[in-house]
Amino acid sequence: MLVEDNPVNALLARTLLSREGCSVDHALTGQEALAALKVGTYDLVLMDMRLPDIGGEETTRRLRAEGVETPVVALTANAFQEDREACMSAGMNDFLVKPLAADALRAVLSRWARKSLDAPVWTEAAGRAKVG
């Protein structure tokens, strides 16, 4: 799932994810993400930090409080160590800096996206990941 309110950033992320073979559900707000994760399951959540309703950190805290264990990766233009620490303390698993780079995204998919609980999605043989 992609949680991103900026249309340009969302287009870039969806394009890069699509090139990696990912199917993507897109939420524009933290509330939309919370609602979607109550009814669906996802392999990975890419979470913008600055959303129009509740921020990415708070959205992640609420997901974790509800028992959602899906990996959450921060998407932010802020690359400072204190930003990374804030994301991790909110329960996020990883951190990507915008503008999103294909190699960085591929590395995150390799680390976190899974087809099943047992098998990593990104392999040289498969070459594709599913997110959402």
Mean of the per-residue pLDDT values for the chain? 88
Q: How many CB atoms lie within 10 A of CB 127?
A: 9
Question: What percent of the chain clears pLDDT 90, i.e. is strictly above it?
Answer: 82
Where do the domains of the chain lie, and which CATH numbers do they carry?
2-112 (3.40.50.2300)
Residues 6+ apart with CB under 8 A from 64: 90, 91
Please give the pLDDT value at position 14.
Answer: 97
**Cα–Cα distance, 51 to 10 (Å, whole number):** 12
Give 98 or 123, the one with higher predicted confidence.
98
- Mean pLDDT (whole number) for 90-106: 96
The pLDDT of residue 124 is above 60? no
Total count of residues recorded for the chain: 132
The pLDDT of residue 127 is above 80? no
pTM of the model: 0.85
Q: Which residue bears the tokens 């991790």?
A: 88
